[in-house]
Amino acid sequence: MLSRKAEDYLEAILNIAEEKGYARIKDIALALGVTPSSVVEMVRRLNDMGFVEYRKYDGVTLTPKGEKIGKAVWGRHTMIRAFLEIIKVPEEIANKDACIIEHELDPKTIEQVKNLVNFVQSAPDYPQWLEHFEIFCKTGIHPCDEGKRKEREHRLSS
């Protein structure tokens, strides 16, 4: 299995190359927040393992083997990010944390995250339980809990 770090590189190269056709060392360094010299070191290693092709003046491209992993990691990333956004994690944090979680989960967990995301996204109307969840996040009270809701309203009005 590839290291987390190697997976992050393949994911970043995939995203940059999708936009530009290839990834330059400085683009990768910028995307991952690392120095160009550590990018060169890792890219050389990935080149030797057959995941990327690195030509000094043409930049880095993924081999089919590297692309397969890059796409799998990116697929997990977008799925986890969507899940975190469903549970109301702010976009920027969801994106950052997706990049951490994406490497470690069991395929079964990923499958269930995917099922939940698809379930919510394919709902014909905005799901009521999600509306309730939003209210719960703000008030700490389940809107279906009549007793507690009334108690709270009474407290606020008196």
Residue 80 CB neighbour total at 10 angstroms: 24
Q: How many residues bind Fe ion (CB under 5 A)?
A: 3
Cβ 138 to Fe ion shortest distance, Å:
30
- Using the rule CB under 5 A, give the single segment among 24-32, 70-78, 138-146, 148-156 that binds Fe ion: 70-78
Residue nearest to Fe ion (CB): 99
Residue 122 CB neighbour total at 10 angstroms: 7
| Non-local CB neighbours of 13 within 8 Å, separated by 6+ positions | 23, 28, 52, 60, 61, 62, 66, 70
Asked if 39 is part of the footprint of Fe ion (rule: CB under 5 A), the reply reads: no
- Using the rule CB under 5 A, give the single segment among 50-58, 86-94, 95-103, 120-128 that binds Fe ion: 95-103
- Using the rule CB under 5 A, give the single segment among 6-14, 46-54, 80-88, 125-133 that binds Fe ion: 6-14
Using CB under 5 A, pick the residue from 7, 77, 80, 103 that binds Fe ion: 77
Question: According to the 3-state scheme, what is the secondary structure of 31-99?
Answer: HHCCCHHHHHHHHHHHHHCCCEEEECCCEEEECHHHHHHHHHHHHHHHHHHHHHHHCCCCHHHHHHHHH
Using CB under 5 A, pick the residue from 99, 101, 113, 117 that binds Fe ion: 99
Asked if 28 is part of the footprint of Fe ion (rule: CB under 5 A), the reply reads: no
Which chain residues interact with Fe ion by CB under 5 A?
Answer: 11, 77, 99
